[in-house]
């Protein structure tokens, strides 16, 4: 469990500031298995988790769905046999907000439970 995962998401509205390069450099080491990607010009965080089968991957996705609902911030989740790919970004600002890093850390914490 990281200090980052102990934070809660704050309201992120249109026009909220995106994470700048300096803040991203500070936050990324706290979620070392995540990659910074760009899709259609929008920066996102992405990580693939491996599981022993489809049912385990789906159970992980369902646990993540509960956390996402509680925080009011929702990822992209692709579940396949033996893996789940999770992508975080803030739709309202078309980029990364601190919430995305918080939720990436919370996602990682699911595996340590």
Residue range 19-59, pLDDT digits in tens = 998 999 999 999 999 999 999 999 999 999 999 999 999 99
pLDDT at 42: 95
What residue numbers bound the domain in which 47 lies? 33-111
CB atoms inside a 10 Å sphere around CB 4: 18
- Number of domain units in the chain: 1
CATH of the domain at 79: 3.30.1360.20
Rounded CA-CA distance 99/67 in Å is: 13
What is the distance between the alpha carbons of residues 79 and 60, in angstroms, rounded to a whole number?
9
Please list, in sequence order, all residues whose beta carbon lies within 8 angstroms of the beta carbon of residue 49, skipping any fewer than 6 positions away: 57, 60, 83, 84, 85, 86, 111
Asked if residue 89 belongs to a domain, the reply is yes
Res. 80 pLDDT band, cuts 50 70 90: very high
In-domain check, residue 83:
yes
67 within domain boundaries:
yes
The reply to whether 14 falls in a domain is no
């Amino acid at each position: 469990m990281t200090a980052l995962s102990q934070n809660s998401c704050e309201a992120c509205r249109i026009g909220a500031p995106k994470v700048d390069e300096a803040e991203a450099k500070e936050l990324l080491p706290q979620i070392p298995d995540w990659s910074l990607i760009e899709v259609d010009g929008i920066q996102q965080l992405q990580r693939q988790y491996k599981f022993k089968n489809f049912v385990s991957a789906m159970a992980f996705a369902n646990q993540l769905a509960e956390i996402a609902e509680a925080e009011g911030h929702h990822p992209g989740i692709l579940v396949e046999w033996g893996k789940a790919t999770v992508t975080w970004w803030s739709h309202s600002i078309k980029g990364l907000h601190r919430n995305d890093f918080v939720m990436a850390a919370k996602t990682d914490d699911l595996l340590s439970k």
